[in-house]
Chains A and B, each alone.
Chain A
Amino acid sequence: MCLGIPGQIIEYVDREHGIAKAQVSGVRRNVNVQLLQQDGDEPQAEDWVLIHVGFAMSKIDEEEAQETYRFLEGLGQMYDDELKDLVDSDIE
């Protein structure tokens, strides 16, 4: 639950509630981006974000995203467990 996983925004599915579809490590899941919607600014399609428990918490660039994936994959079990939970996630 403490791992931040990078995700790339694909499209909004429910803008009002800040729900967007994102590509997160091989799967597509809905994530909540409302915490990055401020002052008229919000994540756009193709932007990378760091996701914690289903919420995008910070914007990152693509290089950081790839570097983070590489690091997470090196964690083994710890990352696998997190991904398993993520795969089961079904946020609306």
Chain B
Amino acid sequence: MKFVDEYRDRDIAQRLGKQIAELAGDDQYKFMEVCGGHTATIYRHGVEDYLPDNIDLIHGPGCPVCVIPMGRVDDAITLAEQDDVIMTSFGDMMRVPGGKGSFFDSKANGADIRMVYSPLDSLKIARNNPDKRVIFMAIGFETTAPSTAATLMRASQEGLDNFSVFCNHVTIIPALKAILDSPDLRLDGFLGPGHVSTVIGCRPYEFVARDYGKPIVTSGFEPLDILQGIYQTLVQLREGRAEVENQYSRVVPWDGNPKALEVMSHTMELRPYFEWRGLGFISHSAMQVREGFAAHDAERIFDVPGVRVADPDACQCGEVLKGVLKPWECKVFGTACTPETPIGTCMVSSEGACAAYYNFGRFDRDRVQEAVS
């Protein structure tokens, strides 16, 4: 499926594509869309069909499920398999492979693992099961971290001591910095994440422009938003500017959501370092529960093994997450690794670059066919 209904949209997209081609001239450009939501739109709607060949879109690390390292999944499974534990998590997490299987596998073996829509649903499970210990496997960037934070505060207010959080929240800025510092990649500009920015606002991206001289445009999720974001990035480059711009101001306030930031910093603090799948250890890149909420911190309550598991040899998620490889260039793409039997995380969530390539769009299927055959 291309643009959902409107001919109008397609017209505008074509016009934007033409303007982008004119601006780009014969030069080669590489832009990274930071957010997995962008990646999904790009393949779902064939956004690349509207772009000239000399504009290359590189998929960034902004898919929270994709960056969870195998060791953390194994730790979570160990927690889930303790006596009297109910493990709860978002549906996206269920198929993420660790070294010893996924939540789904562990559930099939008898662990009580439940999918929830919201951490508050998890809290309710805790209220209803006072004789069980309910753990919420918290994942996500700043989009979901404030919800976990508010839930921690509520649990603490209610004195709900059978509820805890296994905190795996990550922060986008250190990941961006790691990518900018990576010698493998030479990017010309960025489409900044939409929803993360509703929380953190646009100011935290200023270092991208100031210290690295690259433009970054916070962009929405619709195909036209993405084309518009690319256009604005390109205009900056052609005019010799590098600034933070907000294409998605209809949702993203420049200063973000101060209340969300406040509850986050009230309940959580940065960890010294955290392992990201494919990107390795990045300092100050993830959050842990503050001491004041220790009664609800699974890492303090339980014995978390803290295992490190190397990614399988065949897995090239790291290269894909850094944008060095296109998903279909991974040796196991579409053969050993599919959404039904994922080897790597990028194939799990629909926002993962590999799943997006695999699931959506004839255009890419053709290219994949060519590459595979």
Contacts and interface: CB of A to CB of B under 8 A. Distances in A.
Interface of A: 1-4, 17, 32, 34-38, 50, 52-55, 57-58, 60-61, 64, 67, 70-71, 73-78, 81, 85-86, 88-92
A50 B37 contact: no
B150 A89 contact: no
Interface residues of B, number: 48
Contact of B117 (A37, A67, A78, A89): A89
B21 to A, nearest CB: 25
B250 A92 contact: no
B118 A60 contact: no
B240 to A, nearest CB: 33
A50 to B, nearest CB: 6
Nearest to B64: A2
Nearest to A71: B222
A15 to B, nearest CB: 14
Given A2-B140, A2-B143, A53-B119, A70 B37 contact: no
B36 A55 contact: no
A86 B117 contact: yes
A28 B120 CA distance: 16
A1 B64 CA distance: 9
Interface of A is mostly: mixed
Interface of B: 1, 4-5, 35-37, 40, 44-45, 63-64, 90-92, 115-121, 124, 139-140, 143-144, 146-147, 150, 154, 195, 198-199, 221-222, 250-253, 257-260, 263, 349-351, 359
A42 to B, nearest CB: 10
Best-buried of A2, A78, A90 by chain B (most CB within 10 Å): A2
Given A57-B195, A88-B121, 20 more contacts: A1-B64, A2-B35, A2-B36, A32-B147, A34-B150, A35-B259, A38-B259, A52-B143, A53-B90, A53-B119, A54-B117, A57-B199, A70-B4, A71-B221, A74-B1, A81-B91, A81-B350, A88-B117, A89-B117, A92-B124
A14 to B, nearest CB: 11
Given A85-B91, A86-B117, A1 B144 contact: yes
Query: Which of A3, A64, A74, A92 lies at the interface centre, i.e. has the most chain B CB atoms within 10 A of its CB?
Result: A74
Among the interface residues A1, A75, A81, A90, which one has the most CB atoms of the partner chain B within 10 A?
A: A1
B150 A52 contact: no
A89 B121 contact: yes
B259 A1 contact: no
Given A50-B251, A81-B91, A74 B257 contact: no
B195 A90 contact: no
Nearest to B225: A71
Contacts of B44: 74-75
A32 B113 CA distance: 24
Given A53-B147, A91-B121, A71 B258 contact: no
Contacts of B199: 57
B258 A3 contact: no
B76 to A, nearest CB: 16
Contacts of B143: 2, 52, 57
A50 B350 CA distance: 20
Contact of A75 (B40, B116, B120, B263): B40
A3 B36 CA distance: 10
Contacts of B139: 1
A91 B140 contact: no
B253 A89 contact: no
A91 B120 contact: yes
Nearest to A29: B117
Contacts of B140: 1-2, 53
A89 B118 contact: yes
Given A17-B154, A53-B119, A2 B91 contact: no
A81 B359 CA distance: 15
A50 B263 CA distance: 18
B90 A1 contact: yes
A52 B147 CA distance: 8
25 contacts: A2-B35, A2-B143, A32-B147, A34-B150, A35-B263, A50-B251, A53-B140, A54-B118, A54-B119, A54-B121, A57-B195, A58-B253, A64-B251, A70-B4, A71-B221, A71-B222, A74-B45, A77-B350, A77-B359, A78-B350, A81-B91, A85-B117, A88-B115, A90-B121, A92-B120
